[in-house]
Structure 1
Amino acid sequence: MSAEKSMDTITYTVSNHVATLTLNRPERRNAINADMRAALRDVVYRIKNDPDVRVLVLAGSDGHFCAGGDLKSMQGEMTTTQGRSRMHSSHEWLSVLLTLDKPIVAAVDGSAYGAGFGLALAADIILVTPRTRFGMAFLRFGLIPDFALLYTLPRMIGIQRTKELVFSTRELTGEEALSLGIATELVAAESLTERAAELANALATASPDAVSLIKRALNSTFDHDLSTMLSMEADGQGIALGTDYRKTAITNFINKQPPSYKWPE
């Protein structure tokens, strides 16, 4: 099954249970404007509610992931109320994306600045290339990190390193992002799309129930104590043990058949 939709600022396709969302403002290095925010909101809710979608790939067009918020749209006077409204317009759908119980693979090439950095950190698997550049230049413009970076980045690399990156406003290469634990793999730029598809297609063959349960548990693990997590583990494993996927996978293993799910090397 395959579907495709273009919304000018993004493209969205679904094939074999894998949705691919590509930011598509190449003339602005895929910077996020009001139209793109609206398109992202609509697509995120569609992904959440579409049972045919099991995996999401996030990408950018023309050699860049996302240059952040479009600064041209931030010129001129803006009141505190207008600023809050601007941020709240993204927070609802961004929260849905960050808590999505379907795996997300981000293919990050070129620029991933500001909001683009935050968008990339919504992913479970982050692929980078030697030409990837992460950055947070918010302080240069009298702003604070947004797109959930104040939440996601410290949980990924720690408070002290996050402060250093925020205050210095310096760039991170793909190699450094890998060494800090932000990126999952460093791949050649020409192999990025293929590798992202390979991982996404593999994840699409996993048990949707098990994947959903894993993501829900891991997304909340830092908010709960051991007792709560053990209870979540018991409830989740009870559900997983009752699925047809589990029965088939174990039967195949016993009968020395190919595995139901295998991570690509």
Structure 2
Amino acid sequence: MPEAPVVLYERRGPVAYVTMNRPRCRNAQNSAMTYALDDAFYRAADDPEVKVVVLAGAGEHFSAGHDIGTPERDAHLPFERRAGLWWDHSDRPGAESRFARESEVYLGMCRRWRELPKPVIASVHGACVAGGLMPAWVCDLIVASEDAFFADPVVRMGIPGVEYFAHPWAMPPRIAKEFLYTGDRMPARRAYGVGMVNRVVERARLTQETDRLALRIAEMPGFGLALTKRAVNQAEDLQGLHTGMDSVFGLHHLAHAHDAETAADSLGGMDVSAMKGAAIGAAMKEANG
């Protein structure tokens, strides 16, 4: 039996539904998923019948982040580059490899998707953690279920946040600092309170409410939506989003290089089990005051 595609695509009326589909590993993003997402977004952009795109995750979670430990992790493999002109990372050593790869599949792809000239709505449930924040944050709107939570715990690796560093634009700067300094989970209701999420609904109504919002937006003229999206994105860039990300991307890779020299690997020795254990420990401390 052939394996299920890592990204599902379906159009229903004026809405394209793009679904990350690695549910058994909580939709951890390997390169295969990244390029499949790119295919899906390009398909939606090129279809004149599509007015709005919805991004979701199959299974119990939206996305647990970048794939740092499943058997299908493919960070060493070459892929056709689309988001930039950095060379193939797979035959390069050390920081040269990491910088080239992450310029393409992380920062570059997210910037590419942010410019899709149609509204994109993230439909988030369960975990939206670390690298999972990135595809959510490139979306124009976020509808979250009450059980959704958001976290960026990579400071535990000695790394100042994920590659698509939208934190101070997705939430106020002091909240962003707390979010990063603690690595704690931010519940959907608090994410709504700080302006990161547009709507919070019961889990059973998440799909229905996302659909309703998508169809309402789809009533607007497509070109008007595209220009409005460009206008708001340009305003964010004038507020420093693009250049800010460039500067933090350099700090991100300084941290990787430091980890590679002083710890077990470029992630500071924090594999999946270590990150999970740290998160459980932090949650217990928070619960016990």
Q: TM-score, normalised by structure 2?
A: 0.70
Equivalent of residue 109 in structure 1, options 125, 141, 161? 125
Distance of aligned partners of 1:80 and 1:131 in 2 relative to their CA distance in 1, 3 Å threshold? same
The equivalent residue for 2:112 is 96
Q: Which residue of 1 aligns with 2:26?
A: 29
CA contact (8 A) 2:62 2:132 kept: yes
Going from structure 1 to structure 2, the CA distance change for 1:223 and 1:119 (only over 3 Å counts) comes to closer
- Conserved in 1, the CA contact under 8 Å of 2:152 and 2:180? yes
Change (3 A) 1:74 1:158: farther
The equivalent residue for 1:200 is 214
Q: Which residue of 2 aligns with 1:189?
A: 203
Counterpart of 1:178? 192
Q: Which has the larger radius of gyration?
A: 1
User: Aligned match of 1:221 in 235, 238, 245?
Assistant: 235
CA contact (8 A) 2:125 2:145 kept: yes
Bigger mean CA offset, 109-118 vs 88-97: 88-97
Match of 1:19 among 16, 19, 25: 16
Q: Distance in 2 between matches of 1:69 and 1:164?
A: 22
Q: Secondary structure at the match of 1:39?
A: helix
Q: Is the 8 A contact 2:32 2:74 kept in 1?
A: no
**In structure 2, distance between residues paired with 1:28 and 1:147:** 21
Aligned to 1:121: 137
Structure 1 residues 207, 118: closer, same or farther in 2, change over 3 A? same
Structure 2 partner of 1:229: none
1-structure distance, mates of 2:74, 2:172: 30
Distance 2:154 2:48 in 1: 37
The verdict on how the C-alpha distance between 1:85 and 1:111 changes in structure 2, with shifts beyond 3 A counting, is: same
Runs of 4+ in 1 over 4 A off after TM superposition: none
- Matched-pair contact (CA < 8 Å) for 2:152–2:162: no
Answer yes or no: is 1:167 the counterpart of 2:164: no
Which runs of no fewer than 5 residues in structure 2 stay unpaired?
77-92, 240-289
Structure 1 residue 117, shift from structure 2 partner: 1.1
Given the superposition, is the C-alpha separation of residues 32 and 215 from structure 1 closer, same or farther in structure 2, using an over 3 Å criterion? same
1:84 aligned residue: 99
Deviation by residue 1:201-226 (Cα, 9 ceiling, x = unmatched): 1111111121111111011014449x
- Cα gap change, 1:212 to 1:107, in 2 (>3 Å): same
- Please state whether the residue corresponding to 1:32 is helix, strand or coil: coil
Deviation (angstroms), 1:68: 0.2
Same amino acid, percent of matched pairs:
28
- Whole-Å Cα distance in 2 between the matches of residues 209 and 75 of structure 1? 38
Structure 1 gaps of 5+ residues are 1-5, 226-265
Q: Which amino acid aligns with 1:33?
A: N
Q: Is the 8 A contact 1:44 1:93 kept in 2?
A: no
Residue-pair matches, total = 217
Aligned counterparts of 2:180 and 2:215: Cα–Cα separation in 1: 35
Do 2:30 and 2:75's aligned partners in 1 also have CA atoms closer than 8 Å?
no
